[in-house]
Amino acid sequence: MLSVESVSAGYGPLPVLHEVSLEVRPQEAVALIGANNAGKSTLLRTIVGLHRASSGRITANGGDLTSLPAHEIANLGVILVPEGRGIFPEMNVEENLLMGGHMPRARPARKANLDFVYELFPILGERKRQVASTMSGGQQQMLALGRGLVSKPEFLLLDEPSWGLAPLLVRELFSVLRKLSQRGLALLLVEQNIRFSLELSQRSYVLLHGRVCLSGESKALVQDKRLHQAYLGTGV
């Protein structure tokens, strides 16, 4: 289980997260919902060690991640697919994917995971020698997600995966995420598309001004007016 316990974090004197607690159980999809500037991306970056918590504790399967460097956290299977994709634009598709398999954890299964990504996204297999910067936005998002999968994640954190995508591609993306969830991959999803997020996830947390203001089963939150108030940043 991935567990965040009373985590606070900020940037210099500016506090962003205030005693946030959440958990992602094995084989579970969890949505993290909130208005812009609610602290969602900061929380994901804090979990994977790209930003440091000022207080609180983060664990994965009982092991303390709170003070570990980012590469060690990734090698424990906690993988972030960042907002804006974060691909290496001058590398080709396969080079980008192999970067995900560079860690000791992923090396033994790198070939199998690479084959799985090509099965999941055939276009990447067809264009494995294409320079990443010349691909469409949707293909680049597939590449970013594929790189995360080659890393052999146990917990996959996704920050705004549908950002900048056309509606048809958004539906295709969430179909892939649903398949991954059904295969037992644990997901923590930050996504502005509330409907897709609630449909995909079993449970959801709602952030408002850096605090968890609402949580519960996703199917029960669909009709909860407090969710929509928090999403608009107007309180609960």
Tens of pLDDT, residue by residue over 82-124, are 988 889 999 999 999 999 998 999 999 999 999 999 999 999 9
108 by Cβ neighbours in 10 Å (0-12 / 13-18 / 19+) ranks as exposed
Tens of pLDDT, residue by residue over 133-172, are 999 999 999 999 999 999 999 999 999 999 888 888 889 9
Q: State the pLDDT at residue 233.
A: 58
When pLDDT is cut at 50, 70 and 90, the band that residue 232 belongs to is low
Q: State the pLDDT at residue 223.
A: 82
**CA neighbor of 81 nearest in space, from 39, 139, 126, 143:** 143
Q: State the pLDDT at residue 166.
A: 87
Domains located in the chain, CATH noted:
1-77+154-236 (3.40.50.300), 88-152 (no CATH)
Q: State the pLDDT at residue 236.
A: 54
Mean pLDDT computed over 228-232: 66
When pLDDT is cut at 50, 70 and 90, the band that residue 182 belongs to is very high
Contacts of 29 (CB under 8 A, 6+ apart): 177, 181, 186, 187, 189, 200, 201, 202
Considering the entire predicted model, what is its pTM?
A: 0.94
Q: Give CA–CA dist 167/184, Å, rounded.
A: 26
Tens of pLDDT, residue by residue over 17-58, are 999 999 999 999 999 999 889 999 999 999 999 999 999 999
Q: Kindly provide the residue ranges of all beta strands, DSSP E only, lying in 51-195, ordered along the sequence.
A: 55-60, 63-64, 78-81, 155-159, 186-190
Q: State the pLDDT at residue 108.
A: 94
| CA dist list (Å): 19 to 9, 144, 160, 208, 226 | 8, 30, 23, 12, 20
Mean pLDDT computed over 189-216: 94
